Amino acid sequence: ADRLGQKGLALPQSVLQRTDECLAPLGFSVASPRDATRRGSHVSVTHPQAKAFVRALIKEAGVITDFRPPDRVRIAPVPLTTRFVDVWDGMDRLRRLAARGVEARPAR
């Protein structure tokens, strides 16, 4: 259980690192506390087109995330089933979507 707990802290830290390195230049910012004791196991990042990115991640990239109004993508890696490479790949897919742009669709 201790290794699982450590992984549960390290996976979101990996999300923070990838956000800072490759998503911040594309208009994303971290909304979650950076302190792991205050953050928990998920990370929210903000972007004006967050809803469109979440839709595209799920539909086009096979990455499951949540949209949180008004402008947040919530990323919640589960330590039991998520590998570090999964975080890397998912964040890279978001980076590629952001770099090419996604078309915002009206809310239904």
> What confidence tens digit (pLDDT) does each residue in 10-69 have?
999 999 999 999 999 999 999 999 998 898 889 999 999 999 999 999 998 889 999 999
Sheet holding 29-30, edge to edge: 29-30, 43-46, 72-75, 66-68
**Strand bridging mode 66-68 / 29-30:** unpaired
Token look-up 């999300």 returns 15
Residue of 87, 79, 84, 51 whose CA lies nearest to 66: 51
pLDDT score of 61: 86
Phi-psi sector, 101: left (phi>0), alpha (psi -120 to 50), beta: left
pLDDT score of 31: 97
